[in-house]
Amino acid sequence: MKKLSVLFIAFFSAIILVACGNDDSSSSSSGTQVISQTSNNYYQGVIKNGHYLTSKSRGVSVQQNDNQLNLKGFENGLLSISKDQFPTDTYILQEGQYIDTNTAENWLGRKSKSNPDGLNPSGKDTEVPLYLQQMDEQDFMEQSHGDLKIKGMTIGLGINSVYYYRKEAYGAVYQKTLDDKEIVKQGKAIADKVLQRLRKNKDLKDIPIVIALYKQASNDSLVGGNFFAYSVNKDGATSVDNWKSLDIKNYVLPDETSSEVNTNDEDAFENFKNQVQKFFPNLSGVTAQAHYVDGTLRGMHINITTQFYGQSEIISFTQYVQTTAKKYLPNSIPIDVQISSSEGIQSFLARKTGAKNFYSHVFTSY
């Protein structure tokens, strides 16, 4: 396991230590404020003593992921699971404050004499795989007498699908694909231990604690992994016995390796791609992340990279993509499209769930 860098410790210390007044309307006697919600798709967040209250352990996850898509996908996926259990119009999201950096590092390590809390199996790195790769805590709060009280928690556990290891320091990286059944078994066993440990804190004794298991994508994947199971543990339960399976899959399009993507969706994307590439032949790369739940396409992130620069070209291209996307891409699902050149993002389009038309914006400069 990689160690948290000094940089990160400095980062979080800076956030926590700098003193500062607060002058917003929703401040309380305890110096806690709530960030206004601008969409019911998002939670209100927490400002404490004038600053955003950051996660006590997140730096660890950043260090734990060689493929940062596993981090983004994990955090976003966990938010989706949380929203079903803790609706955004009732609960305020506080970034994890119960599992601190030290605890997270210990739990993510191997069990050993010097680290009895390690949630990964004891043994040599070359012989026994690490299963638990990352962890995220989300706290769900309600306001009470001007203060915030914890009313629920969600824990995400990222389990490796591929174990990467070295036989010697700085040596070649070896990899071992882990068995799906073992991933499930290990994930559930770790979840049990985590739940037991959390229940020992008096704040967390009687609140609902949701635990969700995520299968990490491989390091070379162009899309993150996926959550495959979750459980809602009410009333102070100390062992998890009500696992629910999740059928979530993420793919990259065009899909050259697997034939698991729905053919209609694949054809729709291919048609879109061809139309776009006709506009500037050989000059546009068009790829997408496609998100499936229960076998149905639920969203897409599309990336178009081009080599042109002219403002009129970008405007025309963006209008063309907007018309083409509406014509060829699946209806109703949320889709966003980033159009970038080597100089960065040039324009962007997005359609929200259920909307008919795309919003578009061309980035300009004075």
Closest C-alpha to 217, from 281, 301, 160, 264: 160
Sites for a second copy among residues 86-105 (CB under 8 A): 93, 95
Give 168's Cβ-side CA count (13 Å radius): 1
Candidate residues 123, 166, 247, 345; the one interacting with a second copy per rule CB under 8 A: 345
Q: Is 72 in the site for a second copy (CB under 8 A)?
A: yes
Which residues are 341's β-sheet partners?
A: 344
Nearer to a second copy, 240 or 339 (CB): 339
Which residues are 38's β-sheet partners?
A: none
CA–CA gap between residue 341 and residue 79 (Å, rounded):
31
Q: Is 289 in the site for a second copy (CB under 8 A)?
A: yes
Using the rule CB under 8 A, give the single segment among 72-80, 107-115, 172-180, 203-211 that binds a second copy. Answer: 72-80
The token duo for 117 is 């809390």
Closest C-alpha to 246, from 221, 211, 290, 288: 211
Sites for a second copy among residues 104-133 (CB under 8 A): none
CA–CA gap between residue 211 and residue 184 (Å, rounded):
13
User: Could you tell me the end-to-end alpha-carbon distance of the chain, in angstroms, rounded to an integer?
Assistant: 48
CA–CA gap between residue 133 and residue 1 (Å, rounded):
9
Sites for a second copy among residues 167-196 (CB under 8 A): none
Using the rule CB under 8 A, give the single segment among 48-56, 157-165, 195-203, 231-239 that binds a second copy. Answer: 48-56
Question: Shortest gap between Cβ of 343 and a second copy (angstroms)?
Answer: 7
Are 333 and 341 in contact, with CB atoms under 8 Å apart?
no
Q: Is 73 in the site for a second copy (CB under 8 A)?
A: yes
Alpha-helical (H) ranges within 86-125 are 101-108
CA–CA gap between residue 46 and residue 105 (Å, rounded):
25
CA–CA gap between residue 52 and residue 15 (Å, rounded):
8
Q: Is 245 in the site for a second copy (CB under 8 A)?
A: no
Q: Is 261 in the site for a second copy (CB under 8 A)?
A: no
Nearer to a second copy, 155 or 240 (CB): 155
Q: Is 266 in the site for a second copy (CB under 8 A)?
A: no
Candidate residues 103, 165, 313, 355; the one interacting with a second copy per rule CB under 8 A: 313
Q: Is 309 in the site for a second copy (CB under 8 A)?
A: yes
| DSSP code for 218 | P
Question: Shortest gap between Cβ of 26 and a second copy (angstroms)?
Answer: 11
Q: Is 336 in the site for a second copy (CB under 8 A)?
A: yes
Element (H, E) at 159: strand 147-159
Candidate residues 116, 171, 281, 354; the one interacting with a second copy per rule CB under 8 A: 281
Q: Is 158 in the site for a second copy (CB under 8 A)?
A: no
Candidate residues 163, 164, 308, 328; the one interacting with a second copy per rule CB under 8 A: 308
Are 44 and 2 in contact, with CB atoms under 8 Å apart?
no
Alpha-helical (H) ranges within the chain are 6-17, 58-64, 68-85, 101-108, 180-199, 263-279, 311-328
Nearer to a second copy, 257 or 312 (CB): 312
Q: Site size for a second copy, by CB under 8 A?
A: 78
Q: Is 299 in the site for a second copy (CB under 8 A)?
A: yes
Q: Is 341 in the site for a second copy (CB under 8 A)?
A: no
Nearer to a second copy, 29 or 312 (CB): 312
Sites for a second copy among residues 21-40 (CB under 8 A): 35-39
Nearer to a second copy, 183 or 335 (CB): 335
Question: Shortest gap between Cβ of 65 and a second copy (angstroms)?
Answer: 10
Sites for a second copy among residues 205-234 (CB under 8 A): 223-224
Strands 226-233 and 209-215: antiparallel
